[in-house]
Structure 1
Amino acid sequence: MTIAAMFAGLLAAPAATGEPGDSAGLRPVSYLFSDAVDAERDNPGAAPPGANDWTCKPTALHPNPIVLVHGGPETVRLDWGALAPLLANNGYCVYTLTYGAIPGMPGPLGALGGLLPIEQSAQELRDFIIKVRAATGVQSVDIVAHSEGSLVTDYYAKFLGGAKKIDRFISIGPGWNGTNSLGFGALFTALAARLRLAPALGAVVDPICAACLQIQTGSDFLRKLTASGTTVPGVTYTNIVTSHDEFVVPYTSGIQQGPSISNYVVQDYCPGDLTDHLLLPYDKVVAQLVLNALDADNTAYPTCTSTPPNS
């Protein structure tokens, strides 16, 4: 996700409403991104409904708490306005954090996470999961990550001891092999892509969005991340992508091959679905695929609903 995409999303929202799965419970679930924008504006930095109830105790049916790891630059409310209450309504203990925010940054940028180097963001995720495990008394968590959040989680799994603490790892719009979306809407991405040609620009970009350089195809960070393989043993992987992804280019960068990996393309279920990168967490096909991945004994075929492109 980019800054430009996020602000473009303020003006556009999917038409789908309703809740996949058995979730006619306690919290309203809206698939309108504009509702999440309004909620963020009214209560900046707040967790979405259904998330961060530190008294929640996992059940025998859903023994693992879920940690939602947002994309970047992003906030937890903007990214998880639909999935947090949906998962809570389905009986899960749900937790989420804002990682990678720039300390002391004023104004709108100060509310955004996912801007610091991914290595630092992964340390924040590690510390948050320690807190979740202590509060719930569990050994393992399930991760649902969007965009950059998948790389943050992967770094935690491979280099910070997270492999033995993650059971299911569900990635929405990941970019395992990086992105070639040069010039896509955001100045950050364009500048980061040119750093090799103009190193002096690093002094400008790195303090604002160090992660923007790291997600580019061929970056030193991605070479390190994939040097030992794309996955870690013992973790079950699910990747959910859209062929209309304008940020992860090509969108197949979000697909992995290997044991314990499932890959899903939204358009295989709904060919007319125009959901892009920003709106993936607000797509009902995606929502049902997430529920299915978390509970393989209670699955349903995703409902096909078309959403307008984010323009």
Structure 2
Amino acid sequence: MMNNSQKANPILLLHGLWDTEAIFHPMSNFLSKLGYSVYSLSMNPNNGDVALEKLAEQVAIYAAKIFPENQRFDLLGFSMGGIVGRYYLQRLGGIEKVDRFITIGSPHNGTATAFGSLRPGCMQMRIGSYFLADLNRDLTVLSQINFTSIWSPYDMMILPASSSIMPVGKNILIPVLFHGWMAADERVLKAVMEELSAPLKAENNRLNSLKTTVQENRK
């Protein structure tokens, strides 16, 4: 639960393929009751008809519109939304504005199901796509912030399910039976709550640096 002594960041939620912000109603209600300010964006089109870069641009415009320039916020992406969120962070400057980034059931290393579509956005989520390979070349950028990937071994939309596992940040396995259920599963909501209330990595690094400096000055 949110620490009463800390001011929680607002949270922006990004949906997946074929979804709208409606998929986040359970999560939005859950987090709002805990005191969080929750925002969600219905990206358009949501069917893969445009490249994911275009959707990420919508995220950048929306975030700039609703958050003051100096307002830090947390970002959460479900499925395709996690990949769109990564492009926003890694290519559009979002890494300078976001403290925590959580993905749920996102195909970070591609999914075989994307081979069933010739839509540009779907093709970018294929295993071996140039788009994902390019993002994964500098994924260490995500280590600057609190990054968490939540995944399920039973996820039949992300094939293989292990595609959601990342070599940076934190991976949380929650055995949800169906892909679409992950955005509302109680165990997932609890994990999201815990990650949103976790101490910031950047702040811990700053405090450790100050501690080291003080110790060196005492020598």
**2: CA distance between counterparts of 1:253 and 1:283?**
20
Corresponding residue number in structure 2 for 1:295: 197
Corresponding residue number in structure 2 for 1:28: none
Corresponding residue number in structure 1 for 2:154: 244
Among 139, 159, 164, the residue aligned to 1:229:
139
Among 145, 152, 155, the residue aligned to 2:87:
155
Give the C-alpha shift of residue 222 in structure 1.
1.1
Corresponding residue number in structure 1 for 2:207: none
Give the C-alpha shift of residue 233 in structure 1.
4.3
Alignment of 1:69-84 (within 5 A): 69-77=14-22, 79-84=23-28
Which structure 1 segments of 5+ residues have no match?
1-20, 23-58, 102-111, 183-188, 193-208, 268-273, 298-311
Corresponding residue number in structure 1 for 2:214: none
Which structure 2 segments of 5+ residues have no match?
200-219
* Counterpart contact for 1:114–1:148, Cα < 8 Å: no
Task: Count residues in correspondence.
Answer: 198
Counterpart amino acid of 1:235? I
Alignment of 1:54-65 (within 5 A): 61-65=6-10
Corresponding residue number in structure 2 for 1:169: 101
* Counterpart contact for 2:148–2:195, Cα < 8 Å: yes
Corresponding residue number in structure 1 for 2:62: 128
State TM-score, norm by structure 1: 0.59
State TM-score, norm by structure 2: 0.83
Query: C-alpha deviations, 1:23-73, integer Å up to 9, x for none?
Result: xxxxxxxxxxxxxxxxxxxxxxxxxxxxxxxxxxxx963431100011112
**2: CA distance between counterparts of 1:254 and 1:100?**
24
Corresponding residue number in structure 1 for 2:178: 276
**2: CA distance between counterparts of 1:279 and 1:235?**
27
* Counterpart contact for 1:173–1:240, Cα < 8 Å: yes
* Counterpart contact for 2:17–2:48, Cα < 8 Å: yes
Corresponding residue number in structure 1 for 2:122: 212
Corresponding residue number in structure 1 for 2:37: 93
Corresponding residue number in structure 2 for 1:44: none
Give the C-alpha shift of residue 181 in structure 1.
2.9
Corresponding residue number in structure 2 for 1:264: 172
**2: CA distance between counterparts of 1:146 and 1:117?**
17
Q: When you count helix as a share of all residues, which structure comes out higher?
A: 2
Give % identity. Answer: 29
